[in-house]
Structure 1
């Protein structure tokens, strides 16, 4: 508990009610190392109190974040843990070969040596409540650890703990929430008022996030989608070569020939339909790189404004509904849903028709030819 924690629910009964709404149970309160005696409901919480919670890790971190609670720092006299880098809650199994088996986390020096805190312990399926740092761990225990992002691998190697698959949860860093939102809003405003371009603005956002501690360099590197970068790096020269060699103009001329004698919006429909088809077999970014020059050449040959054609390409490239390979989201749900390749077009085809039926009139209204 800190000065900002549960400001409207300092009575334990109220705090329990607020916790229950988040799927959390407050089962104990420790004050200056001593458990408060029951009944707890009519007692008041004080700064420095340590709450014992029963819940899953996701619910715990959500409740901690919204209630402005702090994790303890693992010392003998509990204090709020500093939030100076990214933290993870990880679930681990204590094997017989672990350095922690038969020892307490305090005697091992888990906090002093690795800056890690034991948050929860389950033994034989029963959650333990008493002083966890003084409990002797045994083989088969499941522990919930709060670990700095930069020291996770080091801690697991030194302790010999086995990290459970899927048992990792990045801790919310609510202290950085306002600065993260503020920096992003400033970047969007700067791009909106033409003070800089959007790529430069967003690049500055990332740099500011790293400098402010919102993101670590390791997190930033881990979340870079390298296959997409390689794909775009390969497709950009292809798009440029297609345009500079006259390929874009040739494709546009073919569309003009097919739609000869019809209004220009028919060519827009054909362009969007072709872009949708291409997006179903290529990444949407790569599709845009190829289709955008064609849309410009098509507008030039029709002697109309290119705005509606370019925006039509942007909309159509995002409509990869016909195949599981058009977008990574389509592929992700294929296995869990036990879908087949042919299942996608049955819903995707009507969706693409709806997009054309609604999108083309709106494009012509917003960006007249």
Structure 2
């Protein structure tokens, strides 16, 4: 082993360790790799920056924009509503339609976003059927992972494998190269989950789910295809917490700016909005820290504490209590809205409380309730720390809520109420978004232009048809993912140049070579799958793809089956909740434990392994 290889291996082990603990973030680790490789003399600066010029990095960025266009035009949510209507009261029909819908949408859109959209749909269906949501939630995450096996653009590992093949001078993959295998896995997954659902979510889960948001008000989840603002209020037990208070002439609050108020600390009162001239002004729907209060202003407050505090607040601050009309939020729904927001594992809000998160100052929104493990925190306090998987109910202007949808690294907007359709930014442009998507897929399938050009054409069409604006387009791109990919590509090159790839290939050949190529495929699959359980599947694919291509060359075989095996294994992250973001998303809503994923995911991983070993050589001869 030469010195350069030793340095690369040490750096690789350090990166894997940092990926596992997620400190610092994976994109920061990737940037460190880009800096260290030239400093260690392993490659030039130009070679270290090679990942940023890779066409698949641009392609992935363009697909983020296409997905945002579909979201802004309401297409994804409409599919969810259709699923809710078609499922009726049949568990089997819901499970089948759920897997088909998620696999179809996930083949062209981010599976994480699709799963986030479908979580509230599944919760509503489960409530209507009177069954535990845990019987369906793992089906949702599994179908999200299976969608990564459907098309070339369905997940970054597929594109990274294609890029590795082309760099080595081999023929790349087509748009539907993965589809035959993916369809078989989807069919087997459907049959498997029809059985495996009975292993999940016993009576304890069901009871928690059914009582999760009632607070003595009956069923928390609406029976229709979409929740309304009043449903949110009932579900989170917010009745009686909203009050309208007018500032009297001698009120000590007159002339103060919102950042100077101490109502939260002294009275547990949160200013949600300010009425001026008898209506909610667009400007005042998202009060900022510099907003100065005037005599006669009406504060819409959310009172976290008991009613006695309201009387004390009115007395001390010289406020007049006004009537809260029934259906107030519904009447003002064109100005002010609500949304359920999920905190993903890497959100910057994890570990912070409401004042530290400063959502009103940063985003013009207020947190009025929190749900943890599907249970509203009735004793939620402003100093309580947020955890990964918490669902926040936020209130603010629709404009602010829409802005939050673009902050994918910190938030996942799960549910928008039915009233949001009246203020959807591009609802009427849905046909044009579908047209743009169809043109992109058609160009990719036909091969008339490179995939990246087809995706960029779709982005331009989305903009030309006003499905998305430039600001939304740039903010929709998940830059940490692109930086991670760009940082790992030169790492793979460094392993290849220093002999690390040859060493891994020799190890596999020495261990399994005499058993035949199918056993080698199985061994490659298992190694890739195990690695992706601990680090990003994209990083795994970038590292393992050169090994697969070199292994095929060493065996004097076609590189296609070996490369596709790596891509399929990178999406086989069924066995632990931390192996994939989609698993983390359903962990809380499904009421699952770690062992539930092992119990259900491990056997299905073995099924995918068998499919790969048996069918990949048939579709892609060795």
Of residues 272, 275, 278, the one that matches 1:104 is 278
List structure 1 runs of 4+ shifted beyond 4 angstroms.
Answer: 55-61, 92-100, 113-116, 160-164
- Work out whether 1:183 is the aligned partner of 2:436: yes
**1:202–1:261: structure 2 CA closer, same or farther, 3 Å change rule?**
same
Of residues 498, 501, 507, the one that matches 1:254 is 507
**1:56–1:363: structure 2 CA closer, same or farther, 3 Å change rule?**
closer
Separation in structure 2 between the aligned mates of residue 285 and residue 95 of structure 1, nearest angstrom: 53
2:513 is paired with a residue whose SS is: coil
Deviations 1:24-47 (A, max 9, x none): xxxxxxxxxxxxxxxxxxxxxxxx
Of residues 488, 504, 521, the one that matches 1:268 is 521
2:452 is paired with a residue whose SS is: helix
Of residues 541, 549, 567, the one that matches 1:288 is 541
1:8 corresponding residue in structure 2: none
Residue 327 of structure 1: how far off its partner (Å): 0.9
TM-score computed with the length of structure 1 as normaliser: 0.59
Of residues 323, 327, 339, the one that matches 1:127 is 327
Residue 318 of structure 1: how far off its partner (Å): 0.3
Does the 8 A contact of 2:274 with 2:284 survive in 1?
Answer: no
Residue 258 of structure 1: how far off its partner (Å): 0.7
2:572 is paired with a residue whose SS is: coil
Deviations 1:192-242 (A, max 9, x none): 222222122112322321232101233223332233223212212211211
1:214 is paired with a residue whose SS is: coil
Does the 8 A contact of 1:281 with 1:325 survive in 2?
Answer: yes
1:145 corresponding residue in structure 2: 334
Of residues 550, 563, 571, the one that matches 1:297 is 550
Separation in structure 2 between the aligned mates of residue 363 and residue 249 of structure 1, nearest angstrom: 24
Separation in structure 2 between the aligned mates of residue 229 and residue 96 of structure 1, nearest angstrom: 50
Deviations 1:37-90 (A, max 9, x none): xxxxxxxxxxxxxxxxxx9994689xxxxxxxxxxxxxxxxxxxxxxxxxxxxx
Separation in structure 2 between the aligned mates of residue 124 and residue 346 of structure 1, nearest angstrom: 51
Of residues 466, 479, 487, the one that matches 1:226 is 479
Separation in structure 1 between the aligned mates of residue 601 and residue 445 of structure 2, nearest angstrom: 34
1:325 corresponding residue in structure 2: 578
Of the two, which has the highest radius of gyration?
1
1:101 is paired with a residue whose SS is: strand
Of residues 612, 615, 620, the one that matches 1:362 is 615
Residue 280 of structure 1: how far off its partner (Å): 0.7
Deviations 1:243-297 (A, max 9, x none): 2222112211111111132121110000011111111111111111111111101
1:205 corresponding residue in structure 2: 458
**1:352–1:125: structure 2 CA closer, same or farther, 3 Å change rule?**
farther
Separation in structure 2 between the aligned mates of residue 239 and residue 174 of structure 1, nearest angstrom: 43
Residue 124 of structure 1: how far off its partner (Å): 3.8
Separation in structure 1 between the aligned mates of residue 448 and residue 462 of structure 2, nearest angstrom: 20
- Work out whether 1:334 is the aligned partner of 2:587: yes
Residue 161 of structure 1: how far off its partner (Å): 8.9
- Work out whether 1:308 is the aligned partner of 2:570: no
1:261 is paired with a residue whose SS is: helix
Structure 1 stretches lacking a partner, 5+ long:
1-54, 62-91, 117-122, 129-139, 149-155
